[in-house]
Structure 1
Amino acid sequence: MATAQETHKYPGELNDVPGWFWPLDQVLFSWFLERQESLDTRGDLLELGAYLGKSAILLGHRLRAGETLTVCDLFGAEPPDAANRAEAAKSYSSLTRQAFERNYLSFHDTLPTIVQAPSSAIVDEVAPGSCRFVHIDASHLYEHVEGDIGAARDLLGPDGIVVLDDFRSEHTPGVAVAAWEAVLNRGLRPICLSSQKLYGTWGDPEPVQEALMAALRGRDDIAVTVERAAGHRLVRTRAKIKRLSPPPLPVSRYPAPAAEPEARPADPAPVPGQGAQSRTARTPRPPRPRDRTRRLALDLLPPLVTRAVRRYRAARRAGA
């Protein structure tokens, strides 16, 4: 059992885990996986590129009996080429397998199957046609992403879902080229687009598109538009507000303690022999604007006139 001092190292909820897995994609991941469950679509889950485990934790939450989640990442191992080494040094220098495992085990009893190797090794670790959902978020270099997409095509079963991260980010043109090349030349059929991810299939996209649009029409926090390009129907999704209604998320075993209610300041003790109004009597009344104006006028009058006015006011008060 972790001590109170140690629990600060563990995420109290999914969004405490660092990473770029935005709420809109949390909603979409959950919807696709729940739909597969409702249709009794069987198969394993695969993630290429895990960073610190944010999306892997959600994937593990959707596993059913007999299914496996496999995560493939370098986790600090030697990259396969110079370009990949430069990318890892720039973007993932703090990534360690220990940090991933600590985060994952904060939500799950057992670790997924971990392949600590370049993503190209995954075809030797996972059986062809065995997966129902593949998330590609490893390298941003065209050559690697092109190979990861090819691996996903071989590893997915019929109507399986592939998700390509960073397909439109300004700093990842290699992913964009590989993604749209797969759409135009390699049979990948887009289902929907989020701000960062392309969801697609090598099966028929229309049934899942219709079901997705019907589900999202009932939400007021996600906008949906439909466009066509190169013979493909593109369903675009966009978060309307910063805080979307979240899907059911895995629960950490180290939740943050509930915040204590803010204490109300105690009233000052009454002065003996005086009633409740004594507190008011001890509190000076702030001067009203009219009083301040009168004092200012007196200060500006000649001293002789000022003294005469003050004597007149004192005499009236005494007479009263």
Structure 2
Amino acid sequence: MLSTCKSELTKPRDLDDVPGWFNPLDQALFAFFLEETADRPGDLLEMGCYLAKATIVMGRHQRDGETFTVCDLFGDEAQGRYSRKSTLDYYEKTLSLRAFENNYLAFHEKLPEIVQARTNVLADRIAKDSCRFIHVDASHLYEDVCVDIDTTRNILRRDGVVSLDDYRNDRTPGVGAAVWEGVFTKGMRPVCVTPNKMYATWGDPRPFQKRLREWAKNVSGCVVAEDIIDGEVMQRLAGEGLTFVPKPRGSAFKRVARDVLPPVVTRALRRARRPK
């Protein structure tokens, strides 16, 4: 169910309770790239978040000292202008900052940095080369997506990854046009694509692709194929019926607890495990 009543909010118990379009394959790939880019500190950014489904997954991989910024109009036309009236009409019924905060805080102890505005303000607010992972899912008009890609190119570090939503949706041809223009004229290099998202970098995609091939062997239902586009490999991932349970890194308790338990339960378990 994708409708959310703004006056009667309930806390989601798991990610499936959060409205939105974020399938298990892309959930697994977010976890993969967020871990692969965490070898050194770097900030996280989401352009367009709807009701926090992808935001919640990103927040699970935020490390100490990193800033996580989320930018959205949250249904408030006063903070900017929606590109389509139909989008505004839909978001006025389903989206609010309060609903986003309610969903995110069901899984995390504190909110990310929130910018309630159009994404074009980010170019002056986010430092150059500061981000390691960016999710672009805001306006779906060609001109707006071009600006988001230009912003991303400036603030994403060279070995960082950007996830671009709806690059092949027949209802959003402007996104596809802007994304492939980014590939052929702006130096963006695809790492892989799924039915819904492209994952790309301005660095070398080959190390990511090598690790993706090994990673996919351990993900039930995940299939990897490869294409050559303008002389470069691009992987295609499919995962119909995919099931994915992330393998813990470092402290098994910390990783699993952070991934699957509400904050109040995690805090209680931490206290119970402390030496007396």
TM-score (norm: length of structure 1): 0.73
CA contact (8 A) 1:12 1:253 kept: no
How far off is 1:218 after superposition? 3.4
* Alignment partners' CA distance in 1, 2:210 and 2:169: 27
1:252 to 233, 240, 262: 262
1:101-112 aligned within 5 A? 101-112=101-112
The AA in structure 1 aligned to 2:176 is A
The AA in structure 2 aligned to 1:51 is Y
Identity %: 45
For residues 229-276 of structure 1, give each alpha carbon's deviation from its aligned partner in whole angstroms, at most 9, with x where no partner exists.
Answer: 2222110000142x5124363433589xxxxxxxxxxxxxxxxxxxxx
* Alignment partners' CA distance in 1, 2:229 and 2:90: 33
* 2:273 alignment counterpart: none
* Alignment partners' CA distance in 2, 1:143 and 1:88: 16
* 1:19 alignment counterpart: 20
CA 1:90–1:250 in structure 2 vs 1: closer, same or farther (change >3 Å)? farther
* 2:224 alignment counterpart: 224
1:1-320 aligned within 5 A? 9-37=10-38, 40-78=39-77, 80-81=80-81, 84-93=83-92, 94-241=94-241, 243-247=242-246, 249-252=259-262
CA contact (8 A) 2:227 2:233 kept: yes
For the residue of structure 1 that corresponds to 2:83, the secondary structure is helix
How far off is 1:152 after superposition? 0.6
* Alignment partners' CA distance in 1, 2:160 and 2:53: 22
Long gaps (5+) in structure 1: 1-6, 256-320
* Alignment partners' CA distance in 2, 1:52 and 1:80: 18
CA contact (8 A) 1:225 1:235 kept: yes
For the residue of structure 2 that corresponds to 1:143, the secondary structure is helix
* Alignment partners' CA distance in 1, 2:40 and 2:231: 28
For residues 141-189 of structure 1, give each alpha carbon's deviation from its aligned partner in whole angstroms, at most 9, with x where no partner exists.
Answer: 1111110011011111121101100101111111000001101111000
TM-score (norm: length of structure 2): 0.84
CA 1:190–1:73 in structure 2 vs 1: closer, same or farther (change >3 Å)? same
How far off is 1:86 after superposition? 1.4
The AA in structure 2 aligned to 1:160 is G
CA contact (8 A) 2:168 2:176 kept: yes
* 1:304 alignment counterpart: none
How far off is 1:213 after superposition? 1.1
For the residue of structure 2 that corresponds to 1:92, the secondary structure is helix
CA contact (8 A) 1:14 1:250 kept: no
* Alignment partners' CA distance in 2, 1:129 and 1:16: 35
The AA in structure 2 aligned to 1:251 is L
For residues 109-165 of structure 1, give each alpha carbon's deviation from its aligned partner in whole angstroms, at most 9, with x where no partner exists.
Answer: 111000000010111221111100000000111111110011011111121101100
How far off is 1:77 after superposition? 2.2
For the residue of structure 2 that corresponds to 1:123, the secondary structure is helix
* Alignment partners' CA distance in 2, 1:51 and 1:167: 18
For the residue of structure 2 that corresponds to 1:15, the secondary structure is helix
Long gaps (5+) in structure 2: 1-7, 247-255, 266-276
Say what the alpha-carbon RMSD is for the aligned residues: 1.9
For residues 88-114 of structure 1, give each alpha carbon's deviation from its aligned partner in whole angstroms, at most 9, with x where no partner exists.
Answer: 224423210000000011111111000
The AA in structure 1 aligned to 2:87 is A
